[in-house]
Every structure is written in structure tokens, then in C-alpha cells.
């Protein structure tokens, strides 16, 4: 074991970007091996949490995130805008997701920020309803004020998703309608309520390895680390400024997951968007490298996901996971 590897698994908040970039660039087998050892130290290697996503309010967002099909700035995108869904309909979908094995239900609204009023009241009702189903509830609603975060906390919200997306340096190449600082402030507003943080980012937008490392450095600088770290690979959507970006090499995703695992040993690392273009084997490598959750269901928010059938096959091929009879009998 190298001297560096002996320190693996220590919880730190003082990583340098250089240190993180060096981990990312390790020989792949060394990187995955070390990440797997840390993963096994803190997590059950046979557990893969299934989370389901639902877009509760689709499209027409005033922000200009270059990757996002829901931005009103990208007029060429073929997407039907929708008003906020009725809580009853959302809760029926949550119940269906639970019946399919999802433990967590994540609801996304294409808002720049939360506004008080009927729509927010309806979101509170959704959160309460998901918790009554005995599922974890996560929402992603854009920026929010302390009293709004408190209301979500009182409704029983498990986690708030708010991604940093990329490094502070690369950020303005992707989004100009809000700042990195806005993002950090929302995260600290959520943290103050005791609701868990879900924050991660996207690779494959033209950023460098240093940018990827710099994003992880900011995340790992939080004390405690975000409980949940989604790692997305860009899904290039026709009509967005990033539509023509080539899909990243799946091994870059493996490296990103492994590096996230090494710098945030206790966090749940979620293998998020981009999974539908990965082979079964590449997904398994990501799980070996430290991912412990997948988004389960036929769609992410607006783009296709690996289907439930394919995922059932993936999980069955791995063998019984989650220690439950449902998976064992599907195998
Ligand atoms: N409006 C909310 C906000 O500001 O956080 C959230 C919804 S947004 C769709 C949630 C996250 O999905 C984004 O932060 C981004 O990381 C990810 N995402 C959106 N479009 C994507 C794409 N085309 N490919 C990969 N990830 C994407
Ligand atoms: C996250 O980091 N990825 C999920 C979840 N958090 C909300 C969303 C992925 C969205 C991919 C593009 C789409 O389907 O619209
Ligand atoms: Fe709006 Fe969120 Fe999409 Fe950005 S990522 S355009 S904030 S929905």
C-alpha cells in the first residue's frame, strides 16, 4: 500500500485541488481499487439505493443553464411546458415508484426560486405525502429563503437537491443568470435547517479535469460533507447550447465517481443522468468505484433514463442487492 493510500477513508475538509486532480488521474485500477476499499469501509457494498425522479413543474425556467432542456432561453428545445402538478397525482406516482422498489422520491421544479403562495403550499403537501408513504423525500426547487427552508424541514423533507454543477472557474461558461455564490448561499440556508444536502454536478460539458477536481473540492469543503452527491454525465439535448457535445468516455464517469468516493467517504454517491448510454459493465464499474444509488424509472426529469426492465436486469446480474427478497426473487 502506498503512503497516500494509508490515509484513505480519513474524513477531511481541506483537500487541495491538486490532490484531488492527482487522485482522478491515478492509474484506473489503482483508483477504483482504493475507492472500492473506502466504499466498503463505510457502506454495504451489496446495497444500491433506488431513487425515482419526477418533474412536478416542467419547462419555462428563467435561468439559462446551458445543459438544461427546461430553460426558457433555449427556444429550439422540443419540450411541452407544464404547470405544477396536482399533489394527488404526484403522490399516486410516488406510490407506484415505491411499489417498483424506490426508497427515495425526488421532485424537481423548473423554478429559479421558490415563491410563497399556493404552489409552494402544494409542494409542502407533496413532501408530507411522500413521507407518509415512508419514502425519503427530496426536492429541487431552485433558490430559497430561510423561512421556506424551515417549512420544508417541518414537512419532513429528507434532502434538498441543489447542484454546484461545475467548478467556480468554469461556472460562468454554463450559467450567467445566477452566481456560484447564490448556489452556496442556498446550500447553507438548507444546511441550517438540518435538512440533508444533495449537491453534485455534471461532467462532459467541456470542463477540464481540474474543473472536476475543483468542484469536488468545494463539495468536500462543506463540514459535514453533503450527505448525497449526484454525479451526472451530460445528456446532450437538441436545442440546448450543449447539444453537440460528444458523450464523455464512460471511464471518465468511473473516475469521477471514484474520486468523489475518496474525498467524501461517507456520502451517498448517486450515479445520475447519462446512465442510459452506459453498458451494464460500465455501470457496474461505477458501483464498484463507490456509487451507491441509481435513479430508477423510465425518465429522469425530461429525458429518458435506463428503463425499469433494463435496471431489473442490471440488478439481477449483480446478484441479490439490498438484502431483500424482492431482488432475490427477481434474479
Ligand atoms: N431548478 C432546479 C435547480 O436550479 O437546481 C433544479 C432542477 S435541475 C433540472 C437539477 C439538476 O439536473 C441540474 O442541477 C443539473 O445538474 C442536472 N441536469 C439538468 N439537465 C441535465 C442534462 N441535460 N444532463 C445532465 N444533467 C442535467
Ligand atoms: C441530479 O443531479 N440529477 C437529477 C436530479 N439531480 C434532479 C436530474 C437529472 C436531469 C437530467 C435531464 C432531464 O431529464 O431533464
Ligand atoms: Fe432552471 Fe434548474 Fe434547468 Fe437551470 S437546471 S434551467 S435552474 S430547471
Is there an atom of ligand 1 within 6 Å of 162 CB?
A: yes
Task: For 54-106, give the DSSP string.
Answer: EEEE-S-BSS--TT-TTBTT-TTS-----PPPPHHHHHHHHHHHHHTT-SEEE
Ligand number nearest to the C-alpha of 73: 3
Contacts of 84 (CB under 8 A, 6+ apart): 56, 57, 109, 119, 122, 123
Question: How far, in Å, from the CA of 33 to the mean position of ligand 3?
Answer: 35
How many of the other CB atoms lie within 10 Å of CB of 281? 11
**Active-site residue set:** 61, 65, 68, 106, 138, 198, 270
- Residues 258 and 187: their CA atoms lie apart, in Å, by 24
Is there an atom of ligand 1 within 6 Å of 231 CB?
A: no
Residue in 60, 64, 66, 71 to alter for ligand 3 test, most ligand atoms within 8 A of Cβ: 71
Query: For ligand 3, which residues put their CB under 6 angstroms from it?
Result: 61, 63, 65, 68, 70-71, 110, 142
Among the atoms of ligand 1, which is closest to the Cα of residue 303?
A: 23
- Residues 57 and 286: their CA atoms lie apart, in Å, by 30
pLDDT at 3: 77
pLDDT at 330: 45
Mean pLDDT by 10 residues, the chain (331 residues): 86 97 97 97 93 95 96 91 94 95 96 96 98 98 98 98 98 96 97 98 98 98 98 96 96 98 98 92 96 90 87 86 53 41
pLDDT at 307: 83
What is the span of the domain harbouring residue 35? 3-330
The domain tally of the chain equals: 1
Among the atoms of ligand 1, which is closest to the Cα of residue 70?
A: 9
Distance of CA 242 to the CA centre of its chain: 19
pLDDT at 184: 97
pLDDT at 322: 72
pTM of the full structure: 0.95
Distance of CA 102 to the CA centre of its chain: 15
Is there an atom of ligand 2 within 6 Å of 230 CB?
A: yes
Supply the CATH number for residue 299's domain.
3.20.20.70
What does the longest C-alpha to C-alpha distance in the chain come to? 58
Residue in 57, 73, 110 to alter for ligand 3 test, most ligand atoms within 8 A of Cβ: 110
- SS3 state at 295: strand
pLDDT at 329: 46
- Interior angle at CA 251, CA 275 and CA 34, nearest 5: 110
Question: How far, in Å, from the CA of 299 to the mean position of ligand 2?
Answer: 10
Amino acid at each position: 500500500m502506498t503512503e497516500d493510500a494509508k490515509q484513505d477513508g480519513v474524513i477531511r475538509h481541506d483537500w487541495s485541488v491538486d490532490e484531488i486532480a492527482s487522485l482522478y488521474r491515478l492509474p484506473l485500477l489503482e483508483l477504483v481499487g482504493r475507492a472500492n476499499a473506502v466504499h466498503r469501509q463505510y457502506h454495504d457494498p451489496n446495497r444500491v439505493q433506488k431513487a425515482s425522479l419526477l418533474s412536478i413543474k416542467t419547462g419555462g425556467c428563467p435561468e439559462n443553464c446551458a445543459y438544461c432542456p427546461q430553460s426558457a432561453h433555449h427556444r429550439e428545445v422540443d419540450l411541452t411546458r407544464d404547470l405544477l402538478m396536482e399533489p394527488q397525482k404526484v403522490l399516486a406516482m410516488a406510490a407506484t415508484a415505491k411499489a417498483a422498489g424506490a426508497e427515495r422520491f425526488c421532485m424537481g421544479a423548473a423554478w429559479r426560486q421558490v415563491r410563497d403562495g399556493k404552489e409552494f403550499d402544494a409542494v409542502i403537501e407533496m413532501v408530507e405525502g411522500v413521507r407518509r408513504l415512508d419514502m425519503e423525500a427530496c426536492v429541487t426547487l431552485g433558490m430559497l429563503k430561510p423561512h421556506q427552508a424551515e417549512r420544508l424541514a417541518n414537512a419532513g423533507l429528507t434532502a434538498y437537491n441543489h447542484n454546484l454543477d461545475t467548478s467556480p472557474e468554469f461556472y460562468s461558461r454554463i450559467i450567467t443568470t445566477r452566481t456560484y455564490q447564490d448556489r452556496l448561499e442556498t446550500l447553507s440556508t438548507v444546511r441550517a435547517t438540518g435538512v440533508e444536502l444533495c449537491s453534485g454536478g455534471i461532467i462532459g460539458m467541456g470542463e477540464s479535469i481540474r474543473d472536476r477536481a475543483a468542484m469536488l473540492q468545494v463539495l468536500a469543503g462543506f463540514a459535514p460533507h453533503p450527505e448525497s452527491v449526484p454525479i451526472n454525465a451530460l445528456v446532450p439535448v437538441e436545442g440546448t447550447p450543449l447539444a453537440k457535445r460528444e458523450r464523455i468516455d464512460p471511464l471518465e464517469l468511473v473516475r469521477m465517481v471514484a474520486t468523489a468516493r475518496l474525498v467524501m467517504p461517507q456520502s451517498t454517491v448517486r450515479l445520475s443522468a447519462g446512465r442510459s448510454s452506459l453498458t451494464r459493465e460500465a455501470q457496474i464499474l461505477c458501483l464498484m468505484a463507490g456509487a451507491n444509488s441509481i435513479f430508477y424509472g423510465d425518465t429522469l426529469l425530461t429525458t429518458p433514463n435506463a428503463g425499469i426492465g433494463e435496471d431489473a436486469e442490471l440488478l439481477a446480474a449483480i446478484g441479490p442487492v439490498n438484502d431483500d427478497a424482492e431482488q432475490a426473487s427477481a434474479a
